[in-house]
Amino acid sequence: MDDKPLKPSRERPDDGANRRSPHRVPGWVDLGGLEVRELITSRFRLDGGSMYGQVPKMLWNRDGQADESNRIPLVLRSLVIRSGEKILLVDPGMGSRYSSEESARMEIDPALGTLSAILRQAGIDPGQVGDVLLSHLHFDHIGGLASHGPDGETVLELPRARVWVSRAQWEQANAPGAKERRSFREEDLAAIRGNGPHFLDDGVPGWPQISLRETVGHTRGLLVTRVAGSLASVIYPTDLIPMLAHIRLAYTTGFDLWPDRLLEEKSAVLEQAARDRSWIVFAHDPRTAAARVAPGKEGYVIAERKEALDAISPAA
């Protein structure tokens, strides 16, 4: 694959125009037998070089749009799955339990509020969420499980939900190496201990339409989620393919523990997505919610992209 920007230029507005209001409520997409939707649960910035790894800035900045501090805009795009009266949430976002220094460094957007508030805004009763699936336990994916109460106490946002995680990732988070240590926060793990965790053996109980692929390249035990209905399927690879630009095989992040393994795992996910015409949902891309891919000259190319998940056409 070449290093041209992964977009038709007329389809991608600039960062300011494309920074959708936190009050936008995306709709449900019928996959056939179950529905999915996206929820932007976090907006923040991280160092662009860290997000693009070995790729030179002169290449990635066409997609990343770095600020004067070399930070690029990111989101945490959670995936919500509904089957009848059941609701499962994948990755609750980074939450708000950060110091003023941390909030300023990552430019965390306070306008989004707590996870329960975001769910209510989308018309979802937080008490109706029966399961939470954690792709992995890095702070930007799980911090939203808890918030600070009026007296500074820890409040679980979804106290009735079963919290699912791979056993390998739980072990990794509780005994990380030096490179990954700052990606796990004890206050987040403590919130999970207060409500589990439940370990996954083969899929999520009660959700036969959801299949999981355990990977190790980004972090040991990261779960890639595939949701398959009778009309269409979506794949949520989280940090295995965090943004649209990362469908390029050579694009990894500086946070990946084993990049060579990640390339193998990413190739397998892209191959499946191209074969099944699945929509890949990007957890961190602020401009593109989902895309379909097809085999290309040097890897995979974009077959179709959407700025919002509810713009996809499942029956197409």
Spans of all domains in the chain: 9-311
Task: Kindly state the tokens that stand for 204.
Answer: 């999520």
Reference 274, options 302, 248, 250, 298; nearest CA is 302
Q: According to the model, what pLDDT value does residue 316 have?
A: 56
Phi-psi region of 261 (alpha: psi -120 to 50; beta: other; left: phi over 0): alpha
For 163-215, write each residue's pLDDT tens digit: 999 999 999 999 999 999 999 999 999 999 977 799 997 789 999 999 999 99
- If you search the block for the tokens 């201990």, which residue do you land on? 193
Sheet holding 86-90, edge to edge: 29-30, 35-47, 71-83, 86-90, 129-133, 162-165, 198-199
pLDDT tens, position by position, 226-262: 999 999 999 999 999 999 999 999 999 999 999 999 9
CB count in 10 Å sphere of residue 110? 9
Nearest CA to 238 out of 126, 130, 133 is that of 133
Sign of CA dihedral 153, 116, 291, 11: negative
The CATH superfamily holding the domain 9-311 is: Ribonuclease Z/Hydroxyacylglutathione hydrolase-like (3.60.15.10)
Six token digits for residue 137: 């336990």
**Which residues in the chain come in under a pLDDT of 50?**
1-23
